Amino acid sequence: MLSYQHLYHAGGPADLHKHSVLCAVLDDLVARYRALSYMETHAGRGLYDLAAAESVKTGEAALGWLAPGAAGRVPAELAGAVLAVNGGDPDGMSYPGSPLVAAHLLRPQDSLHLCELHPQEYAALEKAVAGDERVTLYHQDGYESVIKLSPPLPRRGLVLVDPSYEIKDEYIQVAGVIDRLRRVWPDGAVLLWYPLLPAARHEAMKTALAKTQPDVLVHEYCWTVPEGGSGMYGSGMIALNCPGALPGFSSL
Ligand code: SAM
């Protein structure tokens, strides 16, 4: 396992969807609370080169961040995070992963706990966040780590759960992890990303979540129509216990 590499998908339509929602939720939490704990179960490498062969091969970034006018269609905070990792160059080819998007929005008093299991992705993540004293890295399974770390101090904050869904059972596993997480950290907000694929395994995940969580909000974004094959046709985000308004989200 661990064959998934996010470089093939970075800056694509799914990333723009996920990172736009992340920005909206963090923006609200920052305005609401004096200090935050931010955690990621699946952090990835933190910084992606959209000119790399892997990215060019799938063409996903070309449909996402590199598409004409993309900067004007995402929240200003996300556009700002991309500009920051490119040293202010609007034509730069670097794209921030969720850890650097969050680091851009969070303040000096906030803490970031980032888990990544893949050795090469972890090594790259170390470089991407080097020198940021707010960050603690965990080269460990993200599901168990966030539960062990909860409830964190500061008590207010957010967990981003962004699995690679390499195993079919992960859709059901993730629903169980979120139930355990919310029991140990009831104050925490949770964001969960999932792909929309023709096999529709996310529907079982939503059903499992709805059985244990009273407050599931969902937003799904489709960029193409589902076809018979295995291609991803859209991106889903689930929000739990996010106190601010989330336009476009609806209850499960
Ligand atoms: N959150 C990142 C972003 O938006 O920039 C992308 C993360 S990518 C979808 C999923 C990552 O999870 C991969 O880098 C993979 O190596 C890692 N991974 C897979 N299983 C894991 C686990 N059990 N614990 C921690 N990391 C894991």
Quick: pLDDT tens for 219-245.
999 998 777 666 899 999 999 999 999
Catalytic residue among 89, 162, 169, 215: 162
Ligand 1 neighbourhood includes 95 CB (under 6 angstroms)? no
Ramachandran assignment for 116, one of left (phi > 0), alpha (psi -120 to 50 degrees), beta (any other): beta
Model pLDDT, residue 227 = 72
H-run or E-run covering 170? helix 170-184
Model pLDDT, residue 2 = 79
H-run or E-run covering 205? helix 202-212
49's CB contacts (< 8 A; 6+ apart) are 7, 55, 93, 94, 95
Peptide bond into 186 cis (omega under 30): no
Residue 1 confidence (pLDDT) above 70? no
Average pLDDT over residues 110-127: 98
Average pLDDT over residues 82-109: 98
Average pLDDT over residues 62-87: 97
Could you tell me the distance, in angstroms and rounded to a whole number, from the CA of residue 8 to the centre of ligand 1? 13
Model pLDDT, residue 224 = 84
pLDDT digits (tens, 9 = 90+) for 133-152: 999 999 999 999 999 999 99
**Radius of gyration for the chain, computed over Cα atoms and rounded to the nearest angstrom:** 17
CB 176 within 8 A of CB 226: no
Residue 158 main-chain phi, psi, to 5 deg: -145, 140
Could you tell me the distance, in angstroms and rounded to a whole number, from the CA of residue 165 to the centre of ligand 1? 9
The 3-state DSSP class for residue 181 equals helix
Fold topology of 6-244: Rossmann fold (3.40.50)
Calculate helix-pair angle for 98-105, 119-128, nearest 10 degrees: 30
Model pLDDT, residue 249 = 97
CB 90 within 8 A of CB 83: yes
Closest Cα partner for 216 from 182, 241, 188, 234? 241
Average pLDDT over residues 3-18: 96
DSSP state of 47: E
Written as six digits, the tokens of 169 are 């059972």
142 Cα nearest atom in ligand 1: 24
Residue 15 confidence (pLDDT) above 90? yes
d(CA 131, CA 167): 34
Residue 179 designated active-site: no
Model pLDDT, residue 225 = 77
Nearest CA to ligand 1 atom 12: 42
pTM over 0.85, yes/no: yes
Could you tell me the distance, in angstroms and rounded to a whole number, from the CA of residue 181 to the centre of ligand 1? 18
pLDDT digits (tens, 9 = 90+) for 164-188: 999 989 999 999 999 999 999 999 9
Closest Cα partner for 128 from 65, 84, 74, 70? 84
Model pLDDT, residue 160 = 98
pLDDT confidence tier of residue 56, bands split at 50, 70 and 90: very high
CA dihedral (60, 189, 186, 180) in degrees, to 10, reads 0
